[in-house]
């Protein structure tokens, strides 16, 4: 039997898993742990040659010299966007597929022996990120990136279904399971019927997804706490009239995958022009400095830390400083939950859509399996407790369940 490999290429983190001879799945660990950050960093080395690093090494390289490097994050968020064709890095054009392929080669480099000749199953969300997302285009780009990385033959499976396979390994009786998989950019739901076997049988009943997850929660914190300190909501003068500072700048500033667009000279010139007649010009100058000096990653890391802290505490402090900009703001969990109410409503609507697709009522679901980092947010868990009851909720494998489930699916295909 060929080796069986599952690859979860994620918005924030990526994971690789292998099916063991005993039929269980195990994560293939990098030196830094189970998960590998889905980032690339480029910089100019000796002789003017462009160099790169991926994962934790990319973050280290970026932090060493943020002004002279280019950090590429959230590549998965662009897959379904027709408007994104290429970006220029130190004068060279890079297609999105080529960036993803470069990252995948680095992700898989330590595991070439395990991957060689293996049956590979790769995950994809039910719905990719973007209001006008082209899901067929996204999957074609994903397949093209893997082909460029040396994996022309692979299977693509839905990420929540994969997480469900991992959860089903512990079942000893038939069950109807709703799997909720929360990533950085998407929230995906599958209703599956499991028969433990042997052989174990899985019948997909319904699916739904929404382009909302952890990154959207980070956006709300930045939008409500940080952006007002950088000029959002202020006014500026135009021919004797007061106009609002353009909010579009803050929509980009608060989203990981759009921040790099603000480095365009035209955008920075526009902000500087508005600052000349702004109510609080120093706030806009701080915005320019944070963008120009590549402070976004440090800010996002602080925001993500506060979000995680609010999962276990009733309040947390966002403490961030860069050059002349400093802030220390207390955030209550209730306040945070009010900010993310629109996202919670969209998640709840997607859960209902998955049930409708399966033709089932909530009472006909035996278990609900929650996985992914965002599932740890109490208000997210509450969406499911309200519909199914706390006693039916099960959580676990927040960062590895999809990859391990994909490996199980790869093994089942060869069985």
Indicate whether 303 belongs to any domain: no
Question: How many angstroms separate the CA atoms of 86 and 95, rounded?
Answer: 4
Domain span at 82: 4-171+398-414
Q: So what's the pLDDT on residue 201?
A: 83
Question: How many angstroms separate the CA atoms of 22 and 193, rounded?
Answer: 24
Indicate whether 94 belongs to any domain: yes
pTM over 0.85: yes
15: nearest Cα among 401, 310, 332: 401
Indicate whether 278 belongs to any domain: no
Would you tell me how many other CB atoms lie within 10 Å of the CB of residue 249?
21
Indicate whether 331 belongs to any domain: no
Indicate whether 334 belongs to any domain: no
Residues of the chain with pLDDT under 50: none
Domain count, the chain: 1
Would you tell me how many other CB atoms lie within 10 Å of the CB of residue 250?
22
Indicate whether 96 belongs to any domain: yes
Indicate whether 129 belongs to any domain: yes
Indicate whether 162 belongs to any domain: yes
Residue 39 sits in a domain whose CATH number is: 3.30.420.40
Q: So what's the pLDDT on residue 236?
A: 96
């Amino acid at each position: 039997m060929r080796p069986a490999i599952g690859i979860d290429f994620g918005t924030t983190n990526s994971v690789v898993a292998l099916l063991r001879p005993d039929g269980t799945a195990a994560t293939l660990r990098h030196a830094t742990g189970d998960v590998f950050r889905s980032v690339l960093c480029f910089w100019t080395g000796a002789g003017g040659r462009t160099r790169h690093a991926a994962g934790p090494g990319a973050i280290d390289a970026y932090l060493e010299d943020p002004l002279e490097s280019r950090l590429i994050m959230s590549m998965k968020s662009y897959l379904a966007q027709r408007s994104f064709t290429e970006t220029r890095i130190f004068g060279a054009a890079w297609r999105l597929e080529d960036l993803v392929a470069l990252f995948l080669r680095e992700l898989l480099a330590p595991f070439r022996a395990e991957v060689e000749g293996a049956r590979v199953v790769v995950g994809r969300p039910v719905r990719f990120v973007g209001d006008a997302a082209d899901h067929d285009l996204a999957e074609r780009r994903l397949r093209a990136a893997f082909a460029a990385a040396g994996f022309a033959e692979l299977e693509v499976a839905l990420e929540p279904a994969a997480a469900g396979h991992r959860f089903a390994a512990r079942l000893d009786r038939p069950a109807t399971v709703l799997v909720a998989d929360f990533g950085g950019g998407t929230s995906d739901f599958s209703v599956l019927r499991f028969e433990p076997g042997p052989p174990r049988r899985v019948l997909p009943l319904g699916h739904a997804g929404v382009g909302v997850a952890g990154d959207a929660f980070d956006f709300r914190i930045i939008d409500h706490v940080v952006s007002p300190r950088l000029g959002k909501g202020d006014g500026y003068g135009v021919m004797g009239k007061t106009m609002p500072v353009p909010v579009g700048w803050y929509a980009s500033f608060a989203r990981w995958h759009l921040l790099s667009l603000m480095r365009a000279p035209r955008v920075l010139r526009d902000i500087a022009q508005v600052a000349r007649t702004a109510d609080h010009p120093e706030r806009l100058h701080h915005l320019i400095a944070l963008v120009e000096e590549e402070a976004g990653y440090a800010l996002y890391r602080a925001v993500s830390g506060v979000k995680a802290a609010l999962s276990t505490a009733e309040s947390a402090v966002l403490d961030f400083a860069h050059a002349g900009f400093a802030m220390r703001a207390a955030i209550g969990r209730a306040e945070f939950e009010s900010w993310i109410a629109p996202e919670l409503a969209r998640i709840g609507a997607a859960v209902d859509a998955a049930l409708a697709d399966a033709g089932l009522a909530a009472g006909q679901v035996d278990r609900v399996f929650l996985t992914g980092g965002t599932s740890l947010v109490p208000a997210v868990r509450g969406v499911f407790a309200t519909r199914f009851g706390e006693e039916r909720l099960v959580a676990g494998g927040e960062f590895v369940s999809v990859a391990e489930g994909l490996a199980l699916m790869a093994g089942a295909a060869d069985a």
